[in-house]
Chains A and B, each alone.
Chain A
Amino acid sequence: MRFTVDTPRCVGAGVCAMAAPQVFDQNDDDGIVVILDSSPPPEQEDAVRDAAARCPAAVIQVLST
């Protein structure tokens, strides 16, 4: 699956790192999103969609597969 992240608008809340820890992490300095896996396997899709829905800055867009 594919997704995009508008990193400059990230607010560092870490909701993605909680919802999809195999796909997202946070930068040690400021908590801003770090992408661990830019094309995660299908079994991660639910977690990534959950992260996208819950991101407080709405910066994650899931691209249709």
Chain B
Amino acid sequence: MPLHDVHEKPVSEAEKRRRMAFLQARSIAGPARNTRRTMSETDRSATAVAPLPTNRCPFDPDPQYQVLRTEAPVSRASTPAGFDVWLVSRYEDARRVLADGDSFSNVDASSSHLMGDKNQLGATPPPGVLLRHDGDSHSRLRLRLAREFMVKRVASLEPFIRRVVAEHLDGLMEQDGPVDLYRSFGLPVPALVISELLGVPEDDREEFEKATSAQVDLRLSLEERQSAAIESAGFFARLVASKLENPGDDLLSRLILEPTERPMDAQELQGIALLLLAAGHDTTANMITLSTHALLEHPEQAAKLQDPRVLDTAVDELIRYLSIVHNGVLRKAVVDVTIGDAQVRAGDHIAVVLESANRDPEFLQDADSLDLERQSAHVGFGYGSHQCLGQHLARLELRIALPELFRRVKGLRVVTPKEEIPFKDDMVVYGIRELMVDWDEVIA
């Protein structure tokens, strides 16, 4: 088998031997490679499959993906949930899978392979949780929500977001460091924004946040996560009941009041609320915190943040570079289908690895570097009909929060020693659990 890398500099003999050893360890090299792709299910399960690569370091994807992209771009991997998946590591294949809703279903939650119980695979998707619906059932929900997250609609939230960001930076001004940037800035800003949009009463915000973050904390046992899910389901049931009884000026109330042939029932509204709150705050919170750390590690890039022209591309480049939705988003093949040179059969699961696709040198030159001035069609928000509904809101929050943080907080620095920074390898969404920072001065 030829072992040359066509995209980068020539590979040394030592590197070739290292790669061969790596591929053999993953059992994807050698003469068996082609035959095992058409093995029956019994044969396939008898073959030892290498585990899903999950060692980020720390902004880059697991280094195994560099080799997988060139040598085995669609390969089998075992997962923490106890079932095997096809790992899709190249940009082109990633877009092809995510765009093809006819061949690939969302019925199993996108992170089932990381946190799920494999007995739950194939379960009926909960009402309203549009991430797990396909076809018409998905587009009915998606199009009714799209208006709430349109570019022009989101733009109207700018004054509120600016106020929340300013208040939290004022808060830093009043205290001495070091403080945890995640708790004091990264998390509260998006949590307040999505709570405002959805109409979560202020008194309830802490309760909802605790319950939703416990559900995706992979340090907790499956039982603990399930009990957190039950707790948050109770919270959302009460929230929706209060909106049904007493609608206000918020997203849930607008869905309730909207004249339509098929009104949403309480269960659907609960599913929507749960999905939007969970997806809408932890992701952005992690992006704010992780971006701050990445920018402090790339001061020449951080300096460009104050240029409004750069801001148009900067946020998307950070989303691409950091790819916080990591370790694969799950799809299930509903027909026999070919991805690259792999024969995928109906019923197989596919994990599309966004952090690898976003670093594919065939998609983007010098993809491993951070360059805030470049534009790219990255897949950090996913791709296809399930692409992030709240992407314009996330962009706006980041394009306000990051430059304001760097403009107002002078001498911002991380005080935790690098090797002790608690990165969230063990969470569904990547980030930093606690980022202790200090500064010289906070200006107005």
Contacts and interface: CB of A to CB of B under 8 A. Distances in A.
Interface string A13-35: 11101100100011011111000
B152 interface: yes
A12 B146 contact: yes
A58 B142 CA distance: 18
Interface in A16-65: 17-18, 21, 25-26, 28-32, 50, 53-54, 56-58
| Interface size grouping (class) on chain B | 20 to 34
Interface residues of A, number: 21
A28 B147 contact: yes
Contacts of A26: 146-147, 150-152
User: What 9 pairs between A and B have smallest CB-CB spacing?
Assistant: A31-B146, A12-B146, A56-B387, A30-B143, A11-B385, A53-B377, A54-B377, A17-B151, A26-B150
A31 B99 contact: no
Secondary structure call for the A interface: loop
Given A31-B149, A32-B143, A56-B99, 20 more contacts: A11-B384, A12-B142, A12-B146, A14-B149, A14-B151, A17-B150, A17-B152, A18-B151, A18-B395, A25-B152, A26-B147, A26-B150, A26-B151, A29-B147, A31-B146, A31-B150, A32-B146, A50-B375, A56-B382, A57-B384
Interface of A: 11-15, 17-18, 21, 25-26, 28-32, 50, 53-54, 56-58
B390 to A, nearest CB: 11
B136 to A, nearest CB: 13
B384 A56 contact: yes
A21 B154 CA distance: 14
Nearest to B388: A13
B434 to A, nearest CB: 33
Contacts of A12: 142-143, 146
